[in-house]
Each structure stands twice: as C-alpha cells, then as structure tokens.
C-alpha cells in the first residue's frame, strides 16, 4: 500500500509524524521533487511530498488532527476531522 500526503509544510509534517515514531528518509528520483519516505511495520510506504500547482492541497480537507498514545501498548491513534462536508 502507498500513502502520499502533499503538503506546504514538509518539515512540520515530518516532525509531527516523527513524534509518532515514524522515521523518514529524504529521497529524490531523477529531476522530481525532494520528499520524505518511510516504510511502516506493515509494509505500507508513507511519503510526504511538497504541494505544487499540479498537486495542490485543499485546506478544507482536514481541520483538526490529534494523536493519542495508549500507554499499555505504545500504539498511537490518529484522528482527523473536518468541519466541511
């Protein structure tokens, strides 16, 4: 599985997900943009790419994102909500 997030805040996103235990490597393929890539324990490839005119972000998509850590297992739950339909 591949999960890609396009963002105008690359470093803030890398730091946020890093605080959840996700370790990213900086990559660049050919003349493409620099981005961050991590492989999650289940094999999912998680990438953070810079938003561009060709790949814009919709600021209405996620209005609030919170993460909680279960002390008994160390697992995180990430919850994203939107105020828009």
User: Distance between the two ends of the chain, CA-based, in angstroms?
Assistant: 27
The ranges assigned to domains in the chain are: 2-81
Q: What is d(CA 27, CA 33) in angstroms, rounded to the nearest whole number?
A: 8
H-helix or E-strand spanning residue 34: none
In the structure encoding, which two tokens stand for residue 78, read together?
């990430």
> What per-residue confidence (pLDDT) applies to 63?
47
* Model confidence at 12: pLDDT above 80: yes
pLDDT for 35 equals 95
CATH of domain 2-81: 3.30.720.120
- Has residue 62 got a pLDDT over 80? no
* Numbers of helices and strands, H then E, in the chain: 1, 6
More confident residue, 63 or 57: 57
List, for residues 37-59, the tens digit of each pLDDT value: 999 988 889 999 888 877 766 65
> What does pLDDT average to over the chain?
79
């Amino acid at each position: 599985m591949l999960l890609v997030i396009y963002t105008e805040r690359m470093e803030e996103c890398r730091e946020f997900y890093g605080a959840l235990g996700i370790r990213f490597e900086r990559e660049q393929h050919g003349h493409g943009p620099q981005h961050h890539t991590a492989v999650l324990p289940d094999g999912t490839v998680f990438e953070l790419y810079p938003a561009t005119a060709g790949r814009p972000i919709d600021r209405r998509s996620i209005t609030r994102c919170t993460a909680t850590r279960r002390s008994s297992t160390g697992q995180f739950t990430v919850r994203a909500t939107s105020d828009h339909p």
